[in-house]
Amino acid sequence: MPKPPVIVLCGAAGTGKTTVQQYLRQHFNLARVITHTTRPPRPGEVAGQDYYFETPASMAKLHLFEQVEYDHYRYGSSQEGLQRALADHPGAVMVLDTKGAVTYRKALGDQVKVLFLTVTDRQQLRQRLTHRGDTPAVIASRLASEEFQRDLTLPPALQAQALILRNDDWAATVAQLELYATQWGLKGK
């Protein structure tokens, strides 16, 4: 039996990772792997659904499989979270920075399907974050962060494995996702 796919979405802020995750969950019954962060919730984000929101002290006590710093906050995920997600779903989907994507691909090999999201016009990213409701200060910090700059480009360690998803036009993105999902053996709901 092939192992259930673990779809890892990575790419710069605003490229549409969370939006694609939502689509894959709704259309292919994938489980979302909820990760931990010390970042404060955005308006509308729900604890335990979007993230487990942590303090620096509670984050430090967790037994995480991997953790990173991104724009001055910590983020991390556990193997238990992934196993819980796979227990009752045909596959799982995770949103990670590119460093996390490299870690998961190395650890789980071909079970991990990395989708690297990008857009043709990088100016679109600022507009999308503004449209999402992020404040000007949050957007400025994010776009200036080393991690944002790094995640604009596919890292060398993923170049032979990752699939590129150019998310300029949502209808084209959906068509591409449907093709990938078929290749991964996923059935639409």
Q: Which residues bind ligand LQESDW3C (CB under 6 A)?
A: 13, 17, 35, 37, 39, 66, 68, 70, 75-77, 95-97, 99-100
**In terms of CB distance, is 77 or 118 closer to ligand LQESDW3C?**
77
In the three-class reduction of DSSP (H, G, I as helix; E, B as strand; rest coil), residue 9 is classed as strand
Please spell the DSSP secondary structure of 103-136, one letter per residue: HHHHHHGGGEEEEEEE-S-THHHHHHHHHHT--H
Q: How many residues make up the chain in this entry?
A: 189
178's tokens: 């449907």
CB of 15 to ligand ATP, least distance (A): 5
Residue 74's binding partner among ligand LQESDW3C, ligand ATP, none (Cβ under 5 to 8 angstroms by kind) is none
Q: Report the residue from 4, 8, 17, 181 that binds ligand ATP according to the rule CB under 6 A.
A: 17
Stretch that binds ligand ATP, among 11-19, 48-56, 57-65, 104-112 (CB under 6 A): 11-19
The number of CA neighbours under 13 Å toward the Cβ of 64 is 21
Q: What is the DSSP letter of 41?
A: P
Query: In the complex, which residues of this chain contact ligand ATP (CB under 6 A)?
Result: 13-19, 128, 131-132, 167, 169-170, 173
